Chain A
Amino acid sequence: MNRGNRQIDILISRYDPERDDQPRTERYTVPYAHDSSVLDALLYIKDHLDGSLSFRWSCRMAICGSCGKMINGVPSLSCKTFLRDYAPGPLYIEALHHFPVIKDLVVDQAGFFDKLPESRPWLIRDQERALADGPHRQSPRQRARFASTSACINCLLCYAACPQYGMKPDFAGPALLALVERYNADSRDQGKAERMPMINAEDGVWSCTLVGNCSAVCPKDVDPAAAINRNKLESAKDYFLRFLKIGSGGAE
């Protein structure tokens, strides 16, 4: 980290399961330069001020999806957020909202990953294409249909922005429903019927009230709110057309 000659105060919500019943707030003063990110500041604190601070990170370049934190109440990637934008400070950093806090800024992501298999995030075929037939071919237009939903990095900022998930952890949630849409929109996939039960359920798209903050905070422009709400229309069609035996996914 380029230390720089400016200083900013950072308040961090800390939680140590061994000694705390509730999170407590600690204040640190860190030096920073024009290009210092919030992640740089956390690393500075861990290296120089308090080695017991726990947080996740990896790539430092907004692609691994592991460094999400609440920064002044807004879910953000700490490696993609710059201290200069918060001058003169202070900044307030917490663990991502709506997930159980394990320690300090580290949350338990099971609420997302445990549900992942149910979205069937792989290509489903009626009949597997034989190797000898060569690769699936896809036009740029077909590829464009899932370009945005396939950009998700599982950072879970959208869950931390979603009050419906916060109130009801059984709700499949933004990224997972965007993933369902990603595969349903893929011209190589034939598995929509298998994914309809998740869309049709109360804990599927129907727990969404279109708050829209999931899309606002998404660092990859996945627009999960659009993916979910377009599927409300799909689910409504499925609901009524199943009586005509046109619809799919009839799990009642």
Chain B
Amino acid sequence: MKAHYQRPMGRWYLRPFYLFVYTLRELTAVFVLLYALVLLAGLAALAAGPEAWAGYRQALTHPLSIGLHVLILVAALYNSITWFMVAPKAMPAVFIGTRPLPGLLITLAHIVVFAIISVVTVVLAGAG
């Protein structure tokens, strides 16, 4: 008997089958990490005093920073949407009588909460 053929995995994560539902979603982690570092730097500046804080705010106005934050925003939105899409699979099953609660409803409920939180946060911040 000759050997069976085992196909190599190659760059499976670039195949369209995986790219949009998975690979890009996982890639958002890099942007989450960058933003966490930006926030941590902000905390450090805050602790260092008013001048450092002003410097930090000044740095954030650099076009490169704005561009990076636009990218981070896109990644964050992608992360949010994909997170809500898989949320029904990660939580205990909910039944109404003999029928499982449709996953789409659970996803939509998350999106509604997300929208409310986002609007309230932005309005509170914008109001000064």
Which residues on A are within 8 Å of B, measured CB to CB? 15, 17-18, 20, 22-23, 73-74, 97-98, 100-102, 108, 140-141, 143-145, 147-148, 161, 163, 166-167, 209-213, 215-216, 223, 225-226, 229-230, 232-233
Which residues on B are within 8 Å of A, measured CB to CB? 1-7, 9, 12-13, 15-18, 21-22, 26, 86, 88-93, 95, 97-100, 103
Q: Would you list the 6 A-B pairs with minimal beta carbon distance, nearest first?
A: A100-B4, A17-B2, A144-B98, A226-B89, A101-B5, A229-B90
A229 and B4 form a contact (CB under 8 A):
no
Q: How far is the CB of A217 from chain B (nearest CB, A)?
A: 9
Q: Which residue of A lies closest to B89 (CB)?
A: A226
Q: Which residue of B lies closest to A102 (CB)?
A: B4
> What's the Cα separation between A212 and B87 when bound, in Å?
11
A212 and B22 form a contact (CB under 8 A):
yes
> What's the Cα separation between A145 and B95 when bound, in Å?
8
Q: How far is the CB of A209 from chain B (nearest CB, A)?
A: 8
B89 and A210 form a contact (CB under 8 A):
yes
Contact of A108 with B4 at beta-carbon distance under 8 Å, contacts A163-B12, A212-B89, A230-B91 already known? yes
Q: How far is the CB of A235 from chain B (nearest CB, A)?
A: 12
Find chain A residues with CB under 8 A from B3 CB: 17
> What's the Cα separation between A73 and B15 when bound, in Å?
9
> What's the Cα separation between A232 and B6 when bound, in Å?
30
B21 and A212 form a contact (CB under 8 A):
yes
B93 and A230 form a contact (CB under 8 A):
yes
Contact of A163 with B9 at beta-carbon distance under 8 Å, contacts A101-B4, A211-B22 already known? yes
